[in-house]
Amino acid sequence: MQFHKALRAIFVLLSAIFWTNQAQAIPAFARQTGMACSACHQQHFPALNSFGRAFKQSGYTMVGAQALVEGEQLSLPVVLNAAFVGYMQYQQSNGFADGLTPVTKNTNNGQTQIPQQVSLFVGGRVGEHIGFEGEINIAGAGVETAGSTGVGLIRVKIPFVFDVGNVKAGVIPFSTNGLGVADSFEVLNTGAVAVHTFNQTSGVGTMGGMQVISAQQYLGTATAASGSAFVVSNEKFFLNLAKWGANYGDGKSGGPTSSYLRAAWTPGDLIPGFDAAIGVQLWRGYSAVAAPAGTPVTVTTGTTALTCTAPSIFITGGGCITPAVAPTGTGVVDTQATSIDAQLLGEVGGMPLTFVASYATAPANDAASVAAGTLNPNLFNQGAATRKSLNLGAELGVIPGKATLQLGIRRANSGLLVPDATGNGIAGSNATDNAIMLGATYNLALNVRTELTYTKASGDLYNGAVGSQNEPGNNKVAGDRLVTFDLAFGF
């Protein structure tokens, strides 16, 4: 019955979309360059192609047909380039209502989010060697931040980029409330940063499209982050070394005591006919996090409302954990994870193809030491075993420029204990969390896209009784199947 309701809602929404005029406007950077969105994006936004990588490596300073206001130490576009970007979403999962009344909308009884997120992006050229990107969240939680309800400036970065021989080098001060340190500078489509995945569905728990096609997103590396990145790049490689803290938002972020290294090789012609890339990411160090002790922070994930009382914090895709407490009263977490990823962009039989692969791990917590305050919990793994995931994703443009089909496969260990019949964890175990994702997209215009995604999860995490050892929002209460319909637009 619920599935029929989901189909009916999707049909109504599709009907409304196809009877509207196609939008012809273009987003912020397209205005600056005078080029269509497809010049920078692989099949559809937000995934980048080789030209999109080059534009980002320039620090957003490339200009095309747009005139400049120029003078001594001045080189500005004649207008401030901006874009209005949003998502509308319907989701249906197969979990239990968990005691919620029929009028309480959640993904189990069908949840419509209009809007799911609306943001205003501003950015582009500030000077010959200086760029800018900012995102102002107007409404909705946003795909970037599980449980975030922040409204206002949620992302900002200012690249200072210079030509040094045959490379571009510079520094990028940045801050984000939920894309992680990788958002400082990233140009691959593997999910190293969430905004460059070909499927943007955040889903319930770990059942979203992004968490199926990207190991980094499965680990929950999309967190709050502030700091500075030192970047060197050209058409063959890029290197990002950042010092950062796992915090955002009030202008009083903690010190950049965590480190991040991103290195990628982008040979382009490694495989004839394909644009190839392979890279590695390392997260290391520790960060002060959370609000002053005693401040409750409520986060809604799936059907579960979690109240984390600081210095407890919410872990993306997980729940509340209690960090070791520093003398200042803030919590301290380790930031430990490693990933390797690769992508191929090209054509098969005249149809565009995107293929991505990633593998990521985050070491386990010693629960007893965390409880005793002698060891910090890992920001990317709240479990007692190693959290790891191997992910594959593919998107084929069956109607080039119009329609695609998507596939994602995940084989993962959650780092959590396997729940027994009573919901207690089995010592020494590591619950599996596998998934398959099927998706389809249709471009109503280059900057207006519909997306239908079906995710089916399986593994130990879904077999036991509902209990504390299961991830909140990712057990029998939330179900193991999720249907999502999105309308994404930007103008």
Q: Quick one: pLDDT at residue 32?
A: 67
Can you give the length of the chain in residues?
Answer: 491
Residue 167, amino acid: V
Name the band, by pLDDT with cuts 50, 70 and 90, for residue 106: confident
> Within a 10 A sphere around the Cβ of 9, how many other Cβ atoms?
17
For residue 26 the two structure tokens come to 């273009």
Q: Which residues are within 8 A (CB) of 413 and not within 5 positions of it... i.e. 6 or more apart?
A: 385, 386, 387, 388, 389, 430, 431, 432, 433
pLDDT in tens, 164-189: 999 999 999 999 888 999 999 999 99
Q: What is the mean pLDDT of residues 434-453?
A: 92
**What stretch of H or E contains 274?**
strand 274-289
Strand, coil or helix: 296? strand
Q: What is the mean pLDDT of residues 416-441?
A: 83
Query: What is the residue extent of each domain of the chain?
Result: 2-490
Per DSSP bridges, beta strands 331-334 and 274-289 are: antiparallel
**Residue 38 per-residue DSSP state:** G
Question: Looking at the whole model, is its pTM more than 0.75?
Answer: yes
Cis peptide before 292, with omega less than 30 degrees from 0?
A: no
Q: What is the mean pLDDT of residues 192-197?
A: 90
**What stretch of H or E contains 9?**
helix 2-18
CA distance 358 to 299: 29
Which one is predicted more confidently, 436 or 382?
Answer: 436
Which one is predicted more confidently, 3 or 19?
Answer: 3
Name the band, by pLDDT with cuts 50, 70 and 90, for residue 1: very low
pLDDT above 50 (res 289): yes
pLDDT above 60 (res 255): yes
Q: Please give the full DSSP string across 407-434, using - where no structure is assigned.
A: EEEEEEE-SSPEE-TTSPEETT---B-E
> Is the separation of the CB atoms in 346 and 274 below 8 Å?
yes
Listed range (43-52, 92-101, 310-319, 322-331) with the worst mean pLDDT: 310-319
Which one is predicted more confidently, 49 or 146?
Answer: 49
Task: Give the chain's largest Cα–Cα span.
Answer: 73
Listed range (118-132, 272-286, 475-489) with the worst mean pLDDT: 475-489
Name the band, by pLDDT with cuts 50, 70 and 90, for residue 431: confident
Domain range 2-490, CATH architecture: Beta Barrel (2.40)
